[in-house]
């Protein structure tokens, strides 16, 4: 319960409600506990003595207790909701803010899909838990203890029955929880397996059809489905014992109380009303025990959610502004790597970049070439300080990027990422994402540069066309060009295209490069590419292999000096 307790700090602003709710619930429980007692009074005192005023008086008292109890109950409902909703909103907000503060390295480790689950499902789980804690978690134990006390109070001799009944119910419930827990975990596993079959079948539908493997797929599915069904049946059948067993114990207890009570009534040491009241308390006690044990199970599930949330809070942003970092920054755009070594995980991990040094002068276009995994993307990600170097330093205009405020740095260094993510909204909104105050003329100019203007204008709504979530109605190449326009609109000193033209056809790409070369004199362009045609015109080409720069120079020079470069060139250009 450690993680859950850690999250309790978010309840602090709502502590008055969090205290009030259980108190009011206590009121309701106490009032509820009075009711059987009152019935007993009517039977034993009113009816036995023929005291009509007492009967009516007691009945009115019952109405009063019921009303007070209802006030307690509704009050608890209100305050527990206020506390839980406030808690949930604050927790969600803090978690979201925390995610915003994290750097790329943290995000890599936490994974997008799992982060989304944490912010949505897990927070809801914990929020529901808080509400339950304030309501049932108070009610059930209170009812349990209260009924037990009232039962003993009603008849100490009959109460001896509890010595047998409570351990019995506990034993049954605990046995069932222990037995069913692994069964349900297995159900979950098999459900996951079935989901995988379905997902792959949908994603790979063309392959399935092309190889005529429908029958094979059906076989796979049937097997997974059959296994899930068997497990579901087993689990449900074990669970089927729960209610009948507990009810049997309970009812046997009632019968026993009836018989023992009957004996005592005959002996004159007990009244009938006491039997009625006692059996009432007995039922409540045993039911509450069952409830408490179920809730404990529920708690452990929420704890898992709380742990996942806490893990995010515990992540320390890897990239943080140094005190006194430069907030005003208008560089000319000279980018220099000085003996940079970099690795994604801990210090002992295999470096992704090894002792890399180069200089991109203002106005130069530098292309990075190399096979997948050579370290091209990692290299350019160090310039806007998405990650920090392990050794050496990266400077812009001679200033270490770690001495510059993150926001100030990124305003000057714009990057179009490999996977172009667009946000829901219009194309215009997406292009001016980095500068929401940009004028329409600026947006159009950027789009024209990025060779996006023509296709944007071919849409009926032009720049006001809505982009679906993650830009579904645009082709890959179109999305990439919008992402480039977005980067261009920042009018950065350093522009980085991280393989961001891979889906753009060669013709358009060539036009784009020509446009970029003339767009802003003095801007430094860094272009990561896999196609050799992309890099031919660069002032400087860096060939990366296994984290090291193995060749460096212009196309003409590299053709002469670098066998690797020539090999790449020839394989792609077929000379």
Partner 1 sequence: MADPKIRSTERTPVVPPPFMLGRPGGGPGGGGPGAHFMRPVEHARNPAGTLARLWGYLRRQRLALIFTVFAVAATTGLQLAGPYLLGVAIDRYILPGDLAGLVRLCGLMLGVYLLISLLTWLQTYIMAAAAQRTVAAIRNDLFEHEQTLALRFFDQHAHGDLMSRLTNDVENISMVLAQSVTQLVSAVLSLAGTAAVMLALNWRLALVTMLTVPLMMLFLTRWVGGRTRAGFRQQQKALGKLNGIIEETITGQRVVKAYGREQAVLAEFDVANRELRRAGTQAQIFSGFIGPLMNLVNNLGLAIIAGAGGWMALAGLATVGTIAAFINYARQFGRPLNEIASLYNTIQSAIAGAERVFETLDEPAEVSDAADARPLVQVRGEVTFEDVCFEYEPGVPVLKHVSLHAEPGQVVALVGPTGAGKTTIVNLLTRFYDIQSGRICIDGQDIRQIKIADLRRQLGIVLQDTFLFSGTVMENIRYGRLDATDEEVIAAARLANADPFIRRLPHGYQTELSERAGNLSQGQRQLLAIARAILADPGILVLDEATSSVDTRTEKHIQEAMLRLMKGRTSFVIAHRLSTIRNADQILVINHGEIIERGTHETLLAQRGFYYHLYQSQFRADGRGITAAAEPTRAEPRRELPVGLAG
β-sheet bridge partners, residue 426: 466
The distance of closest approach from Cβ of residue 247 to partner 1 in the complex, given in angstroms and rounded to an integer, is 4
Instruction: Using the minimum distance from each CB to partner 1, give the nearer residue, 364 or 513.
Output: 513
CB neighbours (10 Å) of residue 313? 13
Helix (H) or strand (E) holding 337: strand 335-342
Segment lying near partner 1 (by CB under 8 A), choices 289-297, 307-315, 345-353, 358-366: 289-297
Task: Tell me the Ramachandran region of residue 451: left when phi exceeds 0, alpha when psi lies from -120 to 50, beta otherwise.
Answer: left
Identify the residue among 314, 454, 461, 464 touching partner 1 (CB under 8 A).
454
H helices within 2-44, ranges in order?
Answer: 2-7, 15-41
The distance of closest approach from Cβ of residue 225 to partner 1 in the complex, given in angstroms and rounded to an integer, is 5
Q: Which two tokens stand for residue 83?
A: 């506390």
The distance of closest approach from Cβ of residue 181 to partner 1 in the complex, given in angstroms and rounded to an integer, is 9
Contact mark string toward partner 1, 424..443, x via CB under 8 A: x--------xx-x-------
Contact positions with partner 1 (CB under 8 A) in 323-352:
none
Identify the residue among 251, 339, 357, 439 touching partner 1 (CB under 8 A).
251
The distance of closest approach from Cβ of residue 445 to partner 1 in the complex, given in angstroms and rounded to an integer, is 18
Identify the residue among 4, 288, 365, 525 touching partner 1 (CB under 8 A).
288
310 near partner 1 (CB under 8 A): no
11 near partner 1 (CB under 8 A): no
Instruction: Using the minimum distance from each CB to partner 1, give the nearer residue, 113 or 347.
Output: 113
Report which of 24, 284, 263 is spatially closest to residue 143, judged by C-alpha positions: 284
β-sheet bridge partners, residue 495: 414, 525
Report which of 323, 335, 308 is spatially closest to residue 123, judged by C-alpha positions: 308
Instruction: Using the minimum distance from each CB to partner 1, give the nearer residue, 115 or 356.
Output: 115
Instruction: Using the minimum distance from each CB to partner 1, give the nearer residue, 258 or 391.
Output: 258
- Give the rounded distance of the alpha carbon of 272 from its chain centre: 58
Contact positions with partner 1 (CB under 8 A) in 33-72:
35-36, 38-39, 42-43, 46-47, 50, 52, 55-56, 58-60, 62-63, 65-67, 69-70, 72
171 near partner 1 (CB under 8 A): no
Can you tell me the distance from the alpha carbon of 475 to that of 453, in angstroms, rounded to the nearest whole number? 15
Identify the residue among 12, 174, 175, 259 touching partner 1 (CB under 8 A).
259
Segment lying near partner 1 (by CB under 8 A), choices 158-166, 290-298, 306-314, 394-402: 290-298
Can you tell me the distance from the alpha carbon of 511 to that of 517, in angstroms, rounded to the nearest whole number? 10
Instruction: Using the minimum distance from each CB to partner 1, give the nearer residue, 108 or 339.
Output: 108
Main-chain dihedrals φ then ψ at residue 550, nearest 5 degrees: -100, -15
Q: Cβ neighbours of residue 553 under 8 Å, at least 6 residues apart? A: 540, 541, 561, 562
503 near partner 1 (CB under 8 A): yes
371 near partner 1 (CB under 8 A): yes
Count of residues that interact with partner 1, criterion CB under 8 A: 194
255 near partner 1 (CB under 8 A): yes
507 near partner 1 (CB under 8 A): yes
Identify the residue among 23, 174, 240, 349 touching partner 1 (CB under 8 A).
240
146 near partner 1 (CB under 8 A): no
258 near partner 1 (CB under 8 A): yes
The distance of closest approach from Cβ of residue 339 to partner 1 in the complex, given in angstroms and rounded to an integer, is 26
Task: Provide DSSP, 195-218.
Answer: HHHHHHHHHTHHHHHHTT-HHHHH
Identify the residue among 23, 207, 320, 466 touching partner 1 (CB under 8 A).
207
Helix (H) or strand (E) holding 42: none
Q: Which two tokens stand for residue 369?
A: 């070439």
The distance of closest approach from Cβ of residue 22 to partner 1 in the complex, given in angstroms and rounded to an integer, is 13
Measure the CA dihedral 486/491/494/495, to 10°: 30
Task: Provide DSSP, 257-286.
Answer: HHHHHHHHHHHTS--HHHHHHHHHHHHHHH
Segment lying near partner 1 (by CB under 8 A), choices 160-168, 332-340, 345-353, 530-538: 530-538
* Locus of tokens 């392990």: 390
Report which of 514, 527, 519 is spatially closest to residue 379, judged by C-alpha positions: 527
Segment lying near partner 1 (by CB under 8 A), choices 12-20, 157-165, 355-363, 419-427: 419-427
Contact mark string toward partner 1, 208..237, x via CB under 8 A: xxxxxxx-xxx--xx--xx-xx--xx--xx
The distance of closest approach from Cβ of residue 56 to partner 1 in the complex, given in angstroms and rounded to an integer, is 6
The 8-class DSSP code of residue 318 comes to S
Identify the residue among 4, 154, 274, 280 touching partner 1 (CB under 8 A).
280
Q: Which two tokens stand for residue 48?
A: 């036995």
Identify the residue among 241, 326, 519, 550 touching partner 1 (CB under 8 A).
241
User: Residues in the chain, how many?
Assistant: 575
Q: Which two tokens stand for residue 543?
A: 């060939």
Instruction: Using the minimum distance from each CB to partner 1, give the nearer residue, 168 or 338.
Output: 168
Can you tell me the distance from the alpha carbon of 490 to that of 415, in angstroms, rounded to the nearest whole number? 10
Sign of CA dihedral 375, 380, 385, 386: negative
Report which of 512, 478, 507, 511 is spatially closest to residue 497, judged by C-alpha positions: 512
Helices (H) and strands (E) in the chain, counts: 23, 12
Identify the residue among 19, 23, 120, 314 touching partner 1 (CB under 8 A).
120
Q: Cβ neighbours of residue 336 under 8 Å, at least 6 residues apart? A: 357, 358, 359, 360, 394, 395, 396, 398
297 near partner 1 (CB under 8 A): yes
Can you tell me the distance from the alpha carbon of 125 to that of 299, in angstroms, rounded to the nearest whole number? 10
Contact mark string toward partner 1, 549..568, x via CB under 8 A: ------xx--x-------xx
The distance of closest approach from Cβ of residue 83 to partner 1 in the complex, given in angstroms and rounded to an integer, is 10
Instruction: Using the minimum distance from each CB to partner 1, give the nearer residue, 395 or 414.
Output: 414
């Amino acid at each position: 319960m450690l993680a859950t307790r850690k999250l309790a700090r978010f309840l602090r602003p709502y502590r008055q409600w969090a205290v009030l709710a259980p108190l009011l619930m206590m009121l309701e429980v106490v009032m509820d506990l009075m009711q059987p007692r009152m019935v007993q009074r009517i039977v034993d005192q009113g009816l036995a003595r023929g005291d009509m005023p007492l009967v009516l008086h007691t009945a009115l008292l019952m109405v009063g207790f019921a009303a007070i109890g209802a006030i307690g109950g509704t009050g608890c409902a209100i305050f527990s909701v206020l506390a839980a909703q406030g808690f949930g909103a604050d927790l969600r907000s803090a978690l979201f803010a925390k995610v915003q503060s994290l750097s790329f390295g943290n995000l890599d480790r936490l994974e997008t899909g799992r982060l989304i689950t944490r912010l949505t499902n897990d927070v809801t789980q914990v929020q529901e838990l808080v509400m339950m804690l304030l309501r049932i978690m108070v009610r059930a134990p209170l009812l349990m203890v209260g009924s037990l006390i009232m039962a003993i109070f009603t008849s100490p001799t009959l109460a001896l029955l509890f010595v047998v009944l409570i351990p019995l119910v506990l034993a049954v419930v605990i046995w069932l929880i222990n037995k069913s827990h692994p069964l349900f975990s297995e159900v979950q596993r098999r459900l996951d397996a079935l989901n995988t079959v379905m997902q792959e079948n949908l994603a790979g539908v063309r392959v399935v059809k092309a190889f005529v493997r429908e029958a094979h797929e059906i076989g796979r599915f049937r097997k997974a489905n059959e296994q899930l069904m068997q497990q579901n049946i087993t689990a449900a059948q074990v669970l089927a014992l729960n209610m009948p067993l507990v009810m049997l114990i309970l009812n046997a207890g009632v019968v026993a109380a009836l018989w023992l009570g009957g004996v005592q009534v005959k002996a004159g040491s007990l009244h009938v009303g006491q039997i009625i009241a006692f059996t009432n308390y007995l039922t409540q006690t045993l039911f509450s025990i069952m409830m408490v044990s179920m809730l404990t199970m529920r708690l452990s599930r929420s704890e898992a959610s709380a742990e996942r949330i806490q893990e995010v809070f515990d992540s320390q942003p890897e990239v943080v502004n140094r005190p006194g970092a430069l907030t005003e920054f208008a560089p000319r755009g000279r980018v220099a790597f000085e003996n940079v070594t970099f690795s994604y995980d801990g210090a002992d991990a295999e470096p992704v970049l090894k002792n890399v040094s180069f200089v991109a002068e203002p106005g130069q276009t530098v292309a990075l070439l190399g096979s997948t995994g050579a370290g091209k993307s990692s290299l350019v990600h160090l310039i806007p300080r998405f990650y920090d170097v392990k050794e050496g330093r990266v400077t812009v205009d001679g200033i270490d990027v770690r001495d510059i405020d993150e926001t100030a740095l990124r305003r000057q260094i714009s990057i179009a990422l490999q996977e172009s993510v667009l946000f829901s909204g219009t194309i215009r909104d997406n292009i001016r994402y980095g500068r929401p105050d940009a004028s329409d003329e600026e947006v159009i100019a950027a789009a024209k540069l990025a060779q996006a203007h023509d296709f944007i204008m071919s849409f009926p709504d032009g720049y006001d066309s809505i982009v679906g979530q993650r830009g579904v109605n645009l082709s890959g190449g179109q999305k990439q060009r919008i992402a480039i326009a977005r980067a261009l609109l920042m009018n950065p000193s350093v522009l980085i295209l991280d393989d961001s033209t891979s889906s753009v056809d060669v013709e358009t790409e060539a036009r784009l490069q020509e446009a970029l070369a003339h767009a802003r004199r003095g801007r430094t362009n860094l272009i990561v590419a896999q196609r050799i045609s992309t890099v031919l015109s660069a002032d400087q080409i860096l060939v990366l292999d296994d984290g090291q720069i193995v060749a460096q120079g212009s196309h003409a020079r590299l053709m002469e000096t670098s066998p690797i470069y020539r090999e790449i060139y020839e394989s792609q250009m077929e000379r």
